[in-house]
């Protein structure tokens, strides 16, 4: 099994955002103010672990999408592949 990188995960996140017609970036900057792009999927990194989250309000609040909490990159990669397969059904 090849090593899963942050770039690999970002490719899947972009696919999820595209498939769900969600914004591609977590925030928009206007007049030196950041506004959360509601619906955007992105990654949240902890100590050697990662999870998939989604922006839930314009102030940047998020909800956790992936199950199992913070997991390894390889575990999240497999989880996101299954999530994408479910979206495509």
User: How is residue 46 written in tokens?
Assistant: 């902890």
Distance CA 80, CA 40 (A): 15
In a domain, 89, yes or no: no
In a domain, 42, yes or no: yes
User: How is residue 73 written in tokens?
Assistant: 């990159």
Residues contacting residue 45 through CB under 8 Å, at least 6 positions apart: none
Give how many domains the chain has, as a whole number: 1
pLDDT tens per residue, range 36-84: 999 999 999 988 899 999 999 988 899 999 987 789 999 999 999 999 9
In a domain, 1, yes or no: no
pLDDT tens per residue, range 1-36: 689 999 999 999 999 999 999 999 999 998 989 899
Whole-structure pTM value: 0.90
Residue 20: give the domain boundaries. 6-84
């Amino acid at each position: 099994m090849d090593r899963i990188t942050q770039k690999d995960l970002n490719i899947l996140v972009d696919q999820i955002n595209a498939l769900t017609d969600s914004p591609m970036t977590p925030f928009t900057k206007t007049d030196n103010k950041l506004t959360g792009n509601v619906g955007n999927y992105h990654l949240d990194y902890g100590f050697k672990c990662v999870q998939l989250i989604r922006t839930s309000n314009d102030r940047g609040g998020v909800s956790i999408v992936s199950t199992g909490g913070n997991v390894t990159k390889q575990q999240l990669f497999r989880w996101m592949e299954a999530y994408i397969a479910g979206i495509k059904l």
